[in-house]
Amino acid sequence: MKYCHHCTAPLILRIPEGDDRERHCCNECNAIFYLNPKNVVGTLPVFEDRVLLCKRAIQPRLGKWTLPAGFMENGESSLDGAIRETREEAGAEIIVRADSLYTLFNLPSINQVYMFFRAELANLDFTPGYESEQVALFDEANIPWEEIAFPVVRSTLEHYFEDLPKQHFPVRMFDVHHGEDRQITTRLISHSHTFHKVD
């Protein structure tokens, strides 16, 4: 980020008045450009005892399996974005229940927040979109665990198969840290309590 979007003057990295950290500032037109984390939204689509995964046709992690997910766009809700990504990447129509929110991941090292929603496939007419090489259903025994694209996807799948026998799916939030040597650690930060089901 070198030049002002509004007036083309060179941007200066400095702390604006009343702020406490450096921002890209324009000394000509006084614009300030803030950089903030982006949300990635997706679903865990299920049909009976199987979950839908997409084989990635694009980088990063080309050829690895993932849940349908992508950047949340302006003008949409996180759930609407997740439904859109499921349609775009897997050609899948889904049914979303009232307790759909499932996992949240903070990835401060790469300035992202992931949110996954549980969903049911409305039918089996799914088909790979532009970003997917293949779309398929897997039961727990056949999940390609060694070929999962991202730790957030692996973690969401692991918790899903852990929660499934109890039919209780607490909302969980995690912090994911990217260490040196490309080592990635995932830590549970917040979860709704474990309760006996009433309704």
Give the residues lining the site for a copy of itself (CB under 8 A).
1-8, 11, 18, 20-21, 33-39, 71-80, 88, 96, 98-101, 104, 106, 108-109, 111, 113, 117, 130, 168-171, 173, 175, 189-199
Give CA–CA dist 190/176, Å, rounded. Answer: 13
Q: Which is nearer to a copy of itself, 111 or 123 (CB)?
A: 111
Give CA–CA dist 176/143, Å, rounded. Answer: 22
Q: Supply φ then ψ for residue 40, to 5 degrees.
A: -115, 125
User: Are 135 and 51 within 8 A, CB to CB?
Assistant: no
Q: Which is nearer to a copy of itself, 185 or 192 (CB)?
A: 192
Shortest distance, position 6 Cβ to a copy of itself, whole Å: 6
* Residue of 147, 35, 39, 36 lying closest to 85 (CA atoms): 39
Shortest distance, position 51 Cβ to a copy of itself, whole Å: 19
Shortest distance, position 84 Cβ to a copy of itself, whole Å: 10
